[in-house]
Amino acid sequence: MEKISKDIISCRRCPELIDYIKKVAEKKKREYKDWIYWAKPVPGFGDPNAELMIIGLAPASHGANRTGRMFTGDASGDLLMKILHKYGFANQPFSISKDDGLVLKNCYLTASIRCAPPNNKPSSKEIEACSEYLIREIRLINPKYIVLLGRVAFDTFFKIFEKVYGYKIKKPNFKHGLIIKEENTPYIIVSYHPSQRNRRTGLLKEEEFEEVFKKLKDIMKSS
């Protein structure tokens, strides 16, 4: 896992994304003017022996691109950590900085790509260039349960499915709350991404997001 993290941090496969995250770090947000931004690709975070892997979209420009840790310092991380703490996967309900004392229990957080993309919209080329790291993480951790946050994570996961598990399956239609179980693969649970935008537009309510983890806990107890 340490080798994967080092490879991610040193990755320069997408020069346009490296340029973008550095420009974000130079410009900053006014409320973070005293921060020294991470401004590098962001590795996964959590328990390397976890049964649960959560795959998101990408680091947020002023979230993980600033703090250097997945789902840390942004609205998505605020809600995710609140729910993970409630269901026993985190020791605290907040994720503010790398030195805030957060410890994940039986849970590992990662993403489809590791550099913050402009407007949270990575290109297919960028996703493909970054997919090697996700493949390596899944193979190494070999999770029993995977939660896919959002359509990009959903599409990315099923694009690399054959490389990870050695056989093809037909990609299902994206649907919040969908549960998928194929032979010799993890339970897969699909969710809308807990982004601030999705919640502001009403696409995802907090109770609907929490329901995903209620289902997960039920599956974990019975499997």
Task: Report the 3 state secondary structure along the chain.
Answer: CHHHHHHHHCCCCCHHHHHHHHHHHHHCCHHHCCCCCCCCCCCCEECCCCCEEEEECCCCCCCHHHHCCCCCCCHHHHHHHHHHHHCCCECCCCCCCCCCCCCECCEEEEECCCCCCHHHCCCHHHHHHHHHHHHHHHHHHCCCEEEEECHHHHHHHHHHHHHHHCCCCCCCCCCCCCEEECCCCCEEEEECCCCHHHHHCCCCCHHHHHHHHHHHHHHHHHC
Residue 65's pLDDT band, with cuts at 50, 70 and 90, is very high
Output the pLDDT for position 150: 98
pLDDT band at 223 (very low <50, low <70, confident <90, very high): confident
pLDDT tens for each residue of 143-201:
999 999 999 999 999 999 999 999 999 999 999 999 999 888 999 999 999 999 999 99
Q: What percent of the chain has pLDDT over 70?
A: 100
Residues 24-38 have pLDDT tens digits of: 999 999 999 999 999
Confidence of residue 203 (pLDDT cuts 50, 70, 90): very high
Q: What is the CATH number of the domain that holds 198?
A: 3.40.470.10
- State how many domains the chain has: 1
Domain of 160?
2-222
Give me the mean pLDDT over the 11-20 stretch.
Answer: 98
Q: What is the mean pLDDT of the chain?
A: 97
pLDDT value for 49: 96
Report residue 56: phi and psi, to 5°.
Answer: -105, -160
The pLDDT assigned to 182 comes to 87
pLDDT of residue 183: 84
pTM above 0.85, yes or no: yes
Q: What is the pLDDT of residues 109-149, one digit of tens each?
A: 999 999 999 999 999 999 999 999 999 999 999 999 999 99
